[in-house]
Structure 1
Amino acid sequence: MKKRKIPMRKDLLSNQMMPKKELVRIVKNKENVVAIDPTGKAAGRGAYVALDPAAVKAAKGKKLIDAAFGITIEPTFYDDLFAYVDHQKARQELFGK
């Protein structure tokens, strides 16, 4: 049986290559609206963030996502992202990958 290739993406916060399934996609559309993309298929420019709540909190202070997309993002988005990442991390620990 042929071994499948695992898609790798770079984590925006740590600059490490990781399997795509271990990351969450953030997307900016043409109207400069930034949103969490759980399906990974939304149209627009995407960036990937690891499921690490501590890194997301650090990113809020450094405004890393603002710099990646070149726009100003509201602080509430970082709070929503932290809640989503924290929830997904807890799900992974409960149910496995």
Structure 2
Amino acid sequence: MSDLKKEATSLHKAASGLRKVGNHTAKPLQEFQSASNDLSALGALGSLLGAKSDIEEGMTTLAKLTRRLDEEWEAEAKLIGEVSDAFDLLDVLLAAQARAKKG
């Protein structure tokens, strides 16, 4: 196997792994968002009543950032997949060129 083919295989595997990240984060993110809407335990503590909205806002921000990370990882996975495909094509072209020189 040529170096390009090995690199393409490795990139393809990395892209596949990145695409699966969202599958693993979807449920925990949903649970986290639900928890940010139910901070009733904090309401029982008078001194934290003012902090409740800050905590909700912080949790909402974290959830948004996590969704953006998932989007970024998906975009990176797409790019890595395209580079992998380009390496595969280059490997085929170089092999064809080598055969043409021999033939």
- TM-score, with structure 1 as normaliser: 0.30
Higher-helix-fraction structure: 2
Higher relative contact order (Cα pairs below 8 Å, separated by 6+ residues)? 2
Higher-strand-fraction structure: 1
User: Rg larger in 1 or in 2?
Assistant: 2
